[in-house]
Amino acid sequence: MKTNRQELEAEILAVENEEILVASNDGTFGAEECRRVTGSGDPQFGTYKIFECIGSGKRKVTGRDPDDAPGRQRRFRDALGRRRRHLSELHKRLRQLQE
């Protein structure tokens, strides 16, 4: 059976490894703009998403290169901030358990 400390460490590890969507151009352009920029009228071909790992801060891009994509970038920083605050609280609780 896991102790409170082990459970807390496991939760910290899980949160640190989460990847949160921080930016995307999904829904910010139409078929015509996509055709002009990418050569394809399929909006899914021009879409990208940027994910950031909570623990390491590393970013991963799926889809089209953001520098060569149609539309505008929409940023979603609130979720990342909430999860980082949660991670900070978990670390604080772990320190309190160790005292």
Query: pLDDT tens digit string along 15-32?
Result: 999 999 999 999 999 999
The span from the CA of 27 to the CA of 76, in Å, is 14
Provide the pLDDT for residue 41.
86
Structure tokens at 32: 């015509």
Mean per-residue pLDDT for 56-83? Answer: 94
What's the CA gap between 79 and 67, in Å, rounded? 24
Q: Does residue 32 fall inside a structural domain? A: yes
The answer to whether residue 3 scores a pLDDT higher than 80 is no
Which of 59, 87, 84, 85 has its CA nearest to residue 73? 59
User: What domain range includes position 16?
Assistant: 4-93
Indicate whether 98 belongs to any domain.
Answer: no
Domain count, the chain: 1
Looking at the predicted structure, is the pLDDT value of residue 56 above 90?
Answer: yes
Residue 63: inside a domain: yes
Q: Is the pLDDT of residue 10 over 60?
A: yes
Give the contacts of 16 (CB within 8 A, at least 6 positions apart): 53, 54, 55, 56, 87
